C-alpha cells in the first residue's frame, strides 16, 4: 500500500510538470501570433517576456505545491506503516525455547507456561527492533548541519580558552585541573562500583531463586514470602541504599565521582526491583493453579539472562530481548568518542561561562537586579549542559552499550523537542526511566487502588522523581538546596496540567521551550551560587538544628513583617545568604511541625525591628 501510494503521487507529480517541449511550444504558438495567456496577437508575433516568465513561475509554484503534498502524504504513510509494523511485531509470539536443564514438558504444560509468561510480560512494554531517532535524523543533511554547528562552537570555546590563557600567562595552558578535580579518587570509585555490582548480581538472584524453589513446597507460603521479601527490602535499603552513600560522604568524593556512584546506585536498585517484580507474578500464578503439574524451574530465569539485563540499556526485565546479528565496533568507537567530546564540551562551558561569573557574584552582597541578570546569563550554559547531558548519555552512551550487547530496541527517547505540552515532554525526554515509573509506580498504584485515584498516582510519580533527583544532587554537591524539588513539585506539576496534551500548535512548543530554558537558568544560577557560598561562607554553627531554626524563622519573620523597613532589610540582606531566605519559605510549615521547640527558641531570640539581635544577625564574615 505504501509503495502504491508513493508511485501514484510521483506519477501525478510527473504528469503535472511541464516539459521543455511544452515550454518551447508556448514560444512556437506565440510565434504564430497566438497568445495562450489572453488570446492577444502581437505585431512581432512573440509573447511578451514578462508574461512568459509569469507563466513559468506559476508552473513552478504548482510543482512546489505538489512536491509538498507528496512529501506530507509520504510521511503520513510511513508513520502509519511503522505503527502497524510495531503492532504486528508486538503481537507475534516467539517460538518456545526449552530450558537446558529442565525435563521435557507436555503440550498442555507448555501452553500453560506460555500463558503465565504472557500474563506478566504481554501487557507490559514490548521491545521491538528500532533505531534511535537521532541516528535516523543525522542521515538528513539539514539535521547533520546542526550537529556540525555544535562542533564549531566547541572549537570556538577551545580557541578562546587557549587565546586567553596565552595572553594572561604568556604560554599555552593545557592543564585540565577542573576535570582532574571532579573525577578525583577514581580508584576508590571503581572499587565501590564493583562491590555494588557483585552484591546486585548475587543477592536479588539468590533470594528469588530460593523463594521460587521452595514456595510450592512450603506449608507457610505467605510467611516464607514475607521473610524473603523483608530481606530483599533490607538489602535495598542498607546494602544498596545506605552503604554506597556512606562511602561517598565519608570519603568526600568530588562531584563527578559522586554522580557515578549515586547514579549507579539508583540504576541498580531500579533493575533489582524490576527483576523481582517481573518474575514473582509468574510463580504466584503457577501456584494458584492447583491442577497444574508444571515444574517451577522454567520460571526461574537463567543467570546469564540476569547478567545481560544488568548491563542492558533498559530498566524493564525480560528473559529475552530483540538482538541484532552483528556488532558494529566502528559505531561503538564513534559513540564513545562523542561521549568524551561532550565531557570536554561541558568542561569548556563551565570554564568560560560559569566559573568566572559565579566566582565574582558569590563574593558580592545580594542584590535583586544582579540576581535576575545572573539567572538570564545562566540560560545559555544551562541549555548547553542540558543538550550535552541528553546527547552524551541518552544517545551516545546507551547506544554504545546497546551496540556492544546487540540490543535492538534503541528507543531511549522520542522527539521531545517537538512537544507542545509538558506532559508529552515528560513522556518523551527519557523513555528508559519513564517506562520504569509508568509500569512499576503508576500502573501498580492503579492496580492496588483499583484504578480509582489516577491523579494520586500521577502525584506519586512526580514526588518520587523529585525526591530521587534532589537526593542525587544533595549527595553529589554536598548540601541540601531543594531548588530542583520545588521546580518539580510546583512548576512541573502546574505545567503538566496547564500545558496538557490538548495544547497543539507551534505557539505551545515555543512556550515549552521558553519555560525549559528559564528553568535551566534558574537551576544553574542557584546551585552555582550555593556551591560558592559553601566555600566562601561556610556555616559556623555547632548545632545544625538550632541554626536551621533561626534561619527559617528569621527569614519568614523578615519577609512577612519587615519588608517595608528598608534600613532593616539592608542589614538583614548583608548577613543572610539568599539561599537561606529562599529555603525558609519552602519548608517553613514543615519545620514548625517537626521542630516546634527550635522554632520557639528562635522566636524568643528575635529582637524588635529597630534593635535586631546581634546573635541572629551574626552571619558569614
pLDDT in tens, 462-473: 889 999 999 999
Q: Is residue 561 part of a domain?
A: yes
Q: Is residue 348 part of a domain?
A: no
Domain of residue 72, residue span: 2-86
Alpha helices in 235-328 (DSSP H): 243-250, 255-288, 303-311
Select from 70, 86, 102 the last residue of a domain.
86
Say how many C-beta atoms besides its own lie within 10 A of residue 201's C-beta: 16
Q: Tell me, what's the pLDDT at 68?
A: 67
Query: Residues 479-489: what's their mean pLDDT?
Result: 86
Contact at 8 Å (CB) between 299 and 215?
A: no
Q: Tell me, what's the pLDDT at 143?
A: 86
Set of cell numbers at residue 511: 512556550
Give me the residues paired with residue 407 across strands.
Answer: 323
Alpha carbon distance, N-terminus to C-terminus of the chain: 76
Q: Kindly state the percentage of the chain with pLDDT values over 90.
A: 28
Greatest CA separation for the chain:
111
- Counting Cα atoms < 13 Å in the Cβ hemisphere of 531 gives 19
**In whole angstroms, how far apart are CA 84 and each of 54, 75, 91, 121, 287?**
45, 14, 11, 20, 37
- pLDDT averaged over the chain? 74
Q: Tell me, what's the pLDDT at 599?
A: 45
Instruction: Point out the catalytic residue in the list 209, 273, 305, 469.
Output: 469
Grade residue 75 by pLDDT with cuts at 50, 70 and 90. low
Model confidence at 100: pLDDT above 70: no
Q: Tell me, what's the pLDDT at 77?
A: 67
Q: Is residue 425 part of a domain?
A: no
Give me the residues paired with residue 323 across strands.
Answer: 407
Burial 163-186 (b: 16+ CB within 10 A, else e): eeeeeeeeeeeeeeeebeebbbbe
* 334 burial type by CB count under 10 A (0-12 exposed, 13-18 middle, 19+ buried): middle
Residues 203 and 81 in one domain: no
* All residues at 6 or more sequence positions from 598 whose CB lies less than 8 Å from its CB, including other chains: 545, 546, 548, 549, 591
Q: Is residue 371 part of a domain?
A: no
Select from 71, 86, 101 the last residue of a domain.
86
244: left (phi over 0), alpha (psi -120 to 50) or beta: alpha
Set of cell numbers at residue 130: 528500532
Set of cell numbers at residue 383: 541549555
| 254-290 tens-digit pLDDT | 999 999 999 999 999 999 999 999 988 888 877 676 5
Q: Tell me, what's the pLDDT at 307?
A: 94
Using CA atoms, how far apart are residues 258 and 264, in angstroms rounded to an integer?
10
Residues 80 and 197 in one domain: no
> Is 434 tagged catalytic?
no
Contact at 8 Å (CB) between 312 and 407?
A: yes
Q: Between residues 492 and 191, which one has the greater pLDDT?
A: 191
CA 400, distance to chain mean position in Å, is 17
Is the four-CA dihedral 249, 254, 258, 260 of positive or negative sign?
Answer: negative
DSSP 8-state assignment for residue 421? S
Q: Tell me, what's the pLDDT at 114?
A: 47
Q: Is residue 10 part of a domain?
A: yes
Q: Between residues 365 and 392, which one has the greater pLDDT?
A: 392
Q: Is residue 384 part of a domain?
A: no
Set of cell numbers at residue 398: 546507551
Q: Is residue 75 part of a domain?
A: yes
| 81-97 tens-digit pLDDT | 655 655 555 444 444 33
Q: Is residue 454 part of a domain?
A: no
Select from 86, 112, 127 the last residue of a domain.
86
Q: Tell me, what's the pLDDT at 74?
A: 66
Q: What's the structural domain count of the chain?
A: 3
Amino acid at each position: 500500500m505504501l509503495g502504491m501510494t508513493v508511485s501514484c503521487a510521483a506519477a501525478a507529480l510527473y504528469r503535472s510538470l511541464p516539459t521543455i517541449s511544452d515550454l518551447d511550444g508556448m514560444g512556437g504558438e506565440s510565434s504564430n501570433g497566438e497568445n495562450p495567456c489572453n488570446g492577444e496577437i502581437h505585431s512581432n508575433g512573440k509573447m511578451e517576456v514578462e508574461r512568459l516568465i509569469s507563466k513559468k513561475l506559476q508552473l513552478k509554484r504548482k510543482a512546489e505545491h505538489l512536491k509538498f503534498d507528496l512529501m506530507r502524504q509520504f510521511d503520513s504513510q510511513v508513520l502509519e506503516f511503522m505503527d502497524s509494523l510495531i503492532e504486528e511485531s508486538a503481537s507475534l509470539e516467539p517460538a518456545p525455547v526449552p530450558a537446558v536443564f529442565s525435563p521435557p514438558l507436555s503440550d498442555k504444560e507448555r501452553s500453560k507456561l506460555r500463558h503465565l509468561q504472557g500474563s506478566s510480560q504481554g501487557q507490559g512494554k514490548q521491545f521491538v527492533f528500532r533505531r534511535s531517532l537521532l541516528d535516523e535524523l543525522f542521515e538528513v543533511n539539514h539535521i547533520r548541519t546542526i550537529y556540525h554547528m555544535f562542533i564549531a562552537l566547541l572549537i570556538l570555546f577551545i580557541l578562546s580558552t587557549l587565546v586567553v590563557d596565552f595572553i594572561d600567562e604568556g604560554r599555552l595552558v593545557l592543564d585540565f585541573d577542573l576535570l582532574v578535580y571532579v573525577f578525583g579518587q577514581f580508584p576508590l570509585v571503581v572499587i565501590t562500583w564493583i562491590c555494588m555490582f557483585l552484591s546486585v548480581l548475587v543477592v536479588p538472584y539468590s533470594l528469588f531463586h530460593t523463594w521460587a524453589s521452595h514456595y510450592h513446597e512450603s506449608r507457610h507460603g505467605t510467611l516464607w514470602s514475607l521473610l524473603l521479601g523483608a530481606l530483599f527490602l533490607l538489602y535495598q535499603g542498607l546494602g544498596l541504599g545506605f552503604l554506597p552513600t556512606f562511602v561517598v560522604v565519608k570519603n568526600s568524593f568530588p562531584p563527578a565521582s559522586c554522580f557515578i556512584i549515586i547514579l549507579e546506585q539508583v540504576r541498580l536498585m531500579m533493575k533489582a526491583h524490576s527483576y523481582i517484580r517481573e518474575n514473582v507474578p509468574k510463580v504466584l500464578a503457577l501456584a494458584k493453579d492447583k491442577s497444574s503439574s508444571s515444574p517451577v524451574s522454567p520460571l526461574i530465569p537463567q543467570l546469564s539472562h540476569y547478567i545481560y539485563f544488568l548491563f542492558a540499556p533498559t530498566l524493564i526485565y525480560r528473559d529475552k530481548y530483540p538482538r541484532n546479528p552483528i556488532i558494529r565496533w566502528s559505531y561503538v568507537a564513534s559513540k564513545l568518542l562523542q561521549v568524551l567530546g561532550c565531557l570536554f564540551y561541558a568542561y569548556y562551558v563551565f570554564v568560560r561561562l560559569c566559573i568566572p561569573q559565579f566566582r565574582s557574584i558569590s563574593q558580592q552582597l545580594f542584590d535583586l537586579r544582579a540576581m535576575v541578570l545572573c539567572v538570564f546569563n545562566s540560560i545559555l550554559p544551562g541549555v548547553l549542559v542540558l543538550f550535552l547531558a541528553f546527547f552524551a548519555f541518552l544517545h551516545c552512551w546507551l547506544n554504545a552499550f546497546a551496540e556492544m550487547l546487540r540490543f535492538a530496541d534503541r528507543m531511549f527517547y522520542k522527539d521531545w523537542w517537538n512537544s507542545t505540552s509538558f506532559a508529552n515532554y515528560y513522556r518523551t525526554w527519557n523513555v528508559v526511566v519513564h517506562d520504569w515509573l509508568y509500569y512499576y509506580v503508576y500502573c501498580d498504584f492503579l492496580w492496588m487502588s483499583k484504578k480509582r485515584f489516577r491523579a494520586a498516582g500521577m502525584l506519586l510519580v512526580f514526588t518520587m522523581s523529585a525526591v530521587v533527583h534532589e537526593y542525587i544532587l544533595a549527595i553529589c554537591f554536598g548540601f541540601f538546596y531543594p531548588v530542583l524539588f520545588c521546580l518539580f513539585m510546583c512548576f512541573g506539576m502546574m505545567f503538566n496540567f496547564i500545558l496538557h496534551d490538548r495544547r497543539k500548535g507551534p505557539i505551545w512548543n515555543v512556550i515549552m521551550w521558553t519555560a525549559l530554558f528559564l528553568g535551566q537558568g534558574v537551576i544553574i544560577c542557584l546551585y552555582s551560587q550555593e556551591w560558592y557560598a559553601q566555600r566562601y561562607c561556610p556555616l559556623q554553627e555547632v548545632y545544625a538544628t538550632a541554626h536551621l531554626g533561626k534561619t527559617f524563622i528569621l527569614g519568614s519573620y523578615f519577609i512577612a513583617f519587615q519588608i517595608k523597613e528598608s534600613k532593616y532589610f539592608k542589614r538583614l540582606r548583608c548577613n543572610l545568604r539568599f539561599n537561606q531566605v529562599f529555603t525558609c519559605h519552602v519548608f517553613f510549615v514543615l519545620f514548625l511541625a517537626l521542630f516546634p521547640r527550635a522554632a520557639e527558641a528562635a522566636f524568643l531570640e528575635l529582637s524588635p525591628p529597630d534593635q535586631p539581635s546581634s546573635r541572629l544577625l551574626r552571619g558569614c564574615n
